[in-house]
Amino acid sequence: MMEGSFPSPDAVAPSLADDPALGLSRRAKMEILGAIMLGLFLGALDQTIVGTALPKIVTALGGNDLYTWVVTIYLLTSTITIPFYGKLSDIYGRRPLLMIGISLFLIGSALSGLSQEMWQLILFRGIQGLGAGALFPISLAVIGDLFSPAERGKYQGLFGAVFGIAFIVGPALGGLLTDNVTWHAIFYVNVPIGLISLYVIWRLLPTVKARNATRSIDYLGALIFTVAISFLLVGLTNEATGSWADLTVGGFIAIGLLLGAVFVLVESRAKEPIVPIDLWRNRTYVSSMVATFLVSFGFYGALIFLPRWFQVIRGDSATISGYEIFPLLVGLIGSSVISGFVVARTGRYKVLIIVSLAVIAVGLLVMAQITTAIPITTLWLGMFIAGVGIGPSLSVFTIIVQNAVPFSKLGVATSNLTFFRQIGGSVGLAIAGTVFADALTSELPKQLTPIVGKIVAAAPPALQSQIQQGFQQNANNLNLNNLTGVGESFGGAIIAAVPQQLQAVFEPFKGQLDLAFNNAFSFGVGQTFMIGVIASIAAVVASLALKELVLRRTVRSEPAAATATTPAAGAVATKGAATATTPAAGAVAGAAATTATGAAAGAGAVARAVATAATVTRSPTAGGSASASADSHPEPIRADGAGRPASAAD
């Protein structure tokens, strides 16, 4: 049950000490939001563009043997840095860390475009990843700084839409630039977008940090964490080309898990841990982390095989196969935005999360019925249902976690959520790959048995036993990995493998052999979706432990001194240094009215800010700063519709 009503009758009027962004105008907040979303779009667009162009890039640089490292190094550096960015942003503020992240990303992008050899591309993609680790967690934390938990849903729901749009635009843009300009150009698309985002963030975003935050950093924990995650992710990546028993797969994963246990021990004794252990005593926090991991584990791994199925079974190109999952994106974008508004309006999230996770399971269950003959409309329906379920998990869990932790740990808590989402996807992909390969290998003989009988029966009696033996020997020696690509023919590979004098006997059955392989392939893909079904059900169970807390209408959950600085004087204004010490009924009513009446206008402002962030200009202002402290004389204030501080007497 939810504790209290919405809004809380015990709410107090927020002060600048409680809400450092209180002095920002609504227009400034919307411009910052637009810049943050551009930063997220930057990272998401890069992934979809590079994914489309990567085969041609690797061919041009002559590095097929290092193909996977172009992706692995980016995943490695971006994942490792996520918790560090979150922790450091709590200490030094979001603004400098986000600007560092975007700058590193842009530098890595520009250098990647200049690459002349494969090792250079891998190195520069690693630099890109160092910056990418800041984009998502700090962007979400900035929303936590700008808006109270009761407001965040309206804006965080848009983040899912950013990724959906990037997924739609990326493949086409990547293919267009690679085919008609040069592959180098795909890395320069990021530069103007990133520069616009950097400018707006530098100009408007206050540097919000807790005054009492310690500058002590747990270097030992940081080192152990880095080594542990490196072994874990490299081991999971190597699983695609090896077996779990290999030292570089199972051995590396075991080392990573062992070092992970050592990391937890070190963090429990650290003065200022990278990942605060006390957060794991928070039931809502733990439930959110576990559920997020499980959703990513089940959904992301299965998602990888959808485009692959369209390419192998339907013969679609890589670009077209990406657009085939459009129904999933429609469901994801729509539910992500709508769920954010629902939470902002009602203040309730537990039922919404449980239902959405169950919807994911239903959608994946429909998709698990996939066969070569499945109607495309049925597959699209399953994809849409799954997308409707996944949307709320992208936006609402962030609101839940940020509302459940103190403001002083908002950055690290948000980054941990992103980290568990990314790790869950990596583990899920490795497990799904193994399940797919095992299912394909076990199902293929069952599909081939009746066809082999027909081939033997059609052959001359003198050749029947030779055909039977030859088929079994060559079928066992086939490299199935090479037959799961676009344009490959299983029947053609079988015919090419038998002696020339027998090829005429096999030729009439080429289509049936291809169908048998496609049936087995579809069965394997369906099994990866079943993993998602099980994981989603487990996520439902984990989410039952959520404690539905009242969404705060102030940024901070505890009285804490804060300093807010910005290069724009007048962006933050104070009447001395104000602190709300008594409940103000008028202020609460005003805040509630602002939320209710400003929802539609806020949505329009967000849309305009995103659409015009590249061209917006504001009159220059002189540099300056303002600060608020709990030690100053108290003066009740409220936030009016424009987001400015106003006295209660107003």
Question: Residue 295: enclosing H or E segment and its boundaries?
Answer: helix 283-313
Q: How far is CA 14 from CA 33, 132, 372, 412, 580, in A?
A: 21, 33, 59, 23, 6
Helix (H, G, I), strand (E, B) or coil at 615: coil
Instruction: Specify the range with the lowest mean pLDDT, choosing from 231-235, 250-254, 646-650.
Output: 646-650
Which residues, 6 or more positions from 89, have their beta carbon under 8 angstroms from its beta carbon?
97, 98, 137, 138, 141, 411, 415
* DSSP assignments along 87-147, one per residue: HHHHHH-HHHHHHHHHHHHHHHHHHHHT--SHHHHHHHHHHHHHHHHHHHHHHHHHHHHHS
By DSSP bridging, strand 645-647 and strand 637-639 are antiparallel
Q: What is the mean pLDDT of the segment spanning 505-514?
A: 85
Residues in the chain: 650
Residue 527: which H helix or E strand, with range?
A: helix 510-543
Indicate whether 646 pLDDT > 70. Answer: no
CA distance readout (Å), 511 to 489, 494, 517:
9, 11, 10
The reported pTM is 0.71
Give dist(CA 562, CA 570) in Å, integer. 18
Lowest average pLDDT, out of 62-71, 438-447, 511-520, goes to 62-71
Which of the residue ranges 277-281, 513-517, 538-542, 552-556 would you say has the lowest mean pLDDT? 552-556
Higher per-residue pLDDT: 610 or 402: 402
Q: How high is the pLDDT of residue 471?
A: 67
Task: Answer whether 166's CB lies under 8 Å from 50's CB.
Answer: no
**Could you report the per-residue pLDDT of 595-641, keeping only the tens digit for each?**
333 333 333 333 333 333 333 333 333 333 333 333 333 333 233 33
Q: What is the pLDDT of residue 7?
A: 40
pLDDT of residue 363: 95
The closest alpha carbon to 433, from 539, 529, 301, 536, belongs to: 301
- Which band of pLDDT confidence, cut at 50, 70 and 90, is reported for residue 559? very low
Residues 6 or more apart whose Cβ sits within 8 Å of residue 286: 280, 545
| Residue 353's pLDDT band (cuts 50, 70, 90) | very high
How many other C-beta atoms can be found within 10 angstroms of the C-beta atom of residue 232? 23
Query: If you average pLDDT over every residue of the chain, what do you get?
Result: 74
| pLDDT tens by residue, 264-305 | 898 888 887 888 888 888 899 999 999 999 998 888 766 778
Please name the helix (run of DSSP H) or strand (run of DSSP E) that holds residue 299, with its range, or none: helix 283-313
pLDDT band at 577 (very low <50, low <70, confident <90, very high): very low
Q: What is the pLDDT of residue 259?
A: 92
Once rounded to an integer, what is the mean pLDDT over residues 421-429? 84
Counting residues of the chain whose pLDDT is more than 70, the rounded percentage is 74
pLDDT of 21 reads 53
Bridge-partner residues for 209, per DSSP? 563
Tokens 């807390």, located at residue: 549
Confidence of residue 330 (pLDDT cuts 50, 70, 90): confident
| Burial of residue 381 (number of CB atoms within 10 Å: 0-12, 13-18, 19+) | middle
